[in-house]
Structure formats: structure tokens, C-alpha cells
Amino acid sequence: MEKTEIANRKISELLTEFPFLTAFFNDNGLEIEGKEELTLPEYFATFDEDEIENRAIDAENLIFQIGEFIEQMIAFLGKDEDIVMTVTILPGTDKSGNAERFDELVIKQGEIICIVGPTGSGKSRLLGDIEWVAQSDTPTLRKILINNDVPDKKWRFSSSDKLVAQLSQNMNFVMDLSVYEFVELHAESRLVENKEIIIKRIIDKANDLAGEKFSPDTPITSLSGGQSRALMIADTAILSKSPIILIDEIENAGIDRKRALRLLISEDKIVLMATHDPILALMGNKRIVIKNGGIHKIIETTDQERTILSTLEDMDKILLAYRTKLRSGEIIEKIEGQG
């Protein structure tokens, strides 16, 4: 919004559109009760000269600051125009420099896309391209469009970034924080209400997914690989407003991966997940097959594959039951009812 426009609007109108302005008025000791029908210049004109001098009120500067504050808050909170309906991948080149042979791949809101391919083929690279919203400026030379357009660069550089939430393969915590403090930092940066409840919910969910439980006072640096993964998944699922979620292999963390996935996906998100796990791969709507760094094929999950998925899930239950026994130190015997 233009600064001059702010000056022309009634305070009541500004507050309706930008409710967070209340905080600005309070923080600056600006009493607006009963003066809501004034514009900002009219409001500042109500101060007498003594007040202006004693309180060092600089109307012009304050109006400027209000404009800045609105801009920053909008950038921080995201606005409706930030809804991501589609992500488009435009072809680049594979590791040998050959052009990828597809026109464009459009991923829609609500879709889950899996990325499969041998180790080292370029699955994480593709996720990296999307996270960076690549514009022919990564090794693959791919281009990523958001809502069929080259997106605003702000998405690349802001750390309160709302476009992409990434659960990466390698997570090294370097901060000296407890689990509670770590989650609290995130909750605070996202301005959630009832912070305590949210923090508790995240830690509980993470403990649901992980095997061995950890407490809120555990230092994050002493969490195991699976525990930190579980914490990041719960944190992303519950706190993140990002419309795009990128997941790089949740299967190897020893956590309940299907529950993790169910926690992460929701209808208004776009999920891309690199995986070696057939169950996760078939849970997606489509899968991208990567070969030698390039997108080799795009396959829609067939009805037959969905039937096979349920067979695989039954097999998985058996495996999980054995894993649980193994982990708890039992001797493996034939599980009742299984061939």
C-alpha cells in the first residue's frame, strides 16, 4: 500500500484491514480510542504543541513508520495472494548436459508427488531446485514457476519464508537449545496464540513418531537422528504455513513414516517427497523418475498400483511388528497368522 494512501484512510479502516496495527499504536503509546474516525494526519493534528514537544512526536515520520510496519508484517505473515495453486517445473539438462524430454510438469495444490531414482541420481537436487525457485541458475538449469509465473525474489531470501518448508536429509543442529526452547523460537517467530499448548502438542507428536521418548529439557544436540527428524516433522506439520512441503527421505529415520506423512500432508499443500520406499512412492498421485540427473519419466499412480499398495502395506505391518520386537530385545519367532 502506498504511503499517501495510508494517510488518506481513517484509522478504523486501517485497523480493519491490518489488525496488527493495534500493537504499533500501543507500543508507541498512541491513544486512539475515540479518534478512530480520523485519518492519521488528522489524528496527529489533535496533539497540542506541548505534547508534540514533550513526547517528541514526529507525525510525518510516524506515518512513514506505520507504512513500513504494514509492509513488513504483510511480508512476514503472508497474504492471500501468496496462495500457491501450482508449481511448474520447466526442463533443464541431465548430468551429461542432455535436455530433459518433457514440456513442463505442473503440480497442483493438494497433490503429492514422489521422486524416485537410484542413489546419486539427482532427487535431492530436484528438491533443491524447487526450494531455490531455480531460474536456470542451478546445475540442472531448470526453471521453477509459481502460479505459472516467475515468483518474487523475496521468497529466496527471507528466512521467515512461507513458500517452502523443507525436511532435508541431513539435519545438524548447532544451537545450544533445549527441545522446548527450540520449538518456542519457532512458535514465537510465527506469532501463534496459546504458545504453550502448541509447543506441547509438537513435542507430544514428535514423541509419537519417534521410538525412545525425549523430554522438553533434552538439548536438541543430543537428540538421535530419528528423534530430531520426528521433531522437525511435528514442528513443520503443526507450525508451518508454507504452501509447499519438500521431504527428503523420511524412511531411514526409523520413525513411523506413514504417520509422519499423514501428519504433514493437507489438502491445501503441495508435497514433493524423494523416497526409496515403494509404499511412500505409491502413496503419491504421481512419481517423477530421475535418471542421471534428469527427469526421465513422469508416471501417474495406476489403479492396479493402488491395489498393490494395500498388499505392500500388509507386508509392511509384518516388518514393523518384527522391527518392534527386535528393537525391544525380543527373540524373533513366527508372528501369529503370518505365513
Ligand X SMILES: Nc1ncnc2c1ncn2[C@@H]1O[C@H](COP(=O)(O)OP(=O)(O)OP(=O)(O)O)[C@@H](O)[C@H]1O
Partner touching 122 among ligand X, Mg ion, none, CB below 5 to 8 Å by kind:
ligand X
Least spacing, CB of residue 93 vs ligand X, in Å: 6
Per-residue DSSP letters for 110-126?
A: T-EEEEE-STTSSHHHH
Cell numbers found for residue 28: 508507541
Least spacing, CB of residue 169 vs ligand X, in Å: 6
**Is the Cβ of residue 123 or residue 162 nearer to Mg ion in the bound state?**
123
Least spacing, CB of residue 296 vs Mg ion, in Å: 16
Report the DSSP beta bridge partners of residue 245.
165, 271
Q: For residues 234 and 203, is the Cβ–Cβ distance under 8 A?
A: yes
DSSP H or E stretch at residue 146: strand 143-146
Q: At what angle do helices 225-239 and 257-264 cross, to 10 degrees?
A: 20
Give the span between the Cα atoms of 286 and 45, in whole angstroms.
61
Partner touching 190 among Mg ion, ligand X, none, CB below 5 to 8 Å by kind:
none
Give the span between the Cα atoms of 103 and 89, in whole angstroms.
9
Least spacing, CB of residue 226 vs ligand X, in Å: 17
Least spacing, CB of residue 211 vs ligand X, in Å: 23
Partner touching 166 among ligand X, Mg ion, none, CB below 5 to 8 Å by kind:
none
Partner touching 159 among Mg ion, ligand X, none, CB below 5 to 8 Å by kind:
none
| Interface positions with Mg ion (CB under 5 A) | 123-124
Partner touching 200 among ligand X, Mg ion, none, CB below 5 to 8 Å by kind:
none
| Interface positions with ligand X (CB under 6 A) | 93-95, 117, 119-125, 139-140, 274, 293-294
Report the DSSP beta bridge partners of residue 165.
245
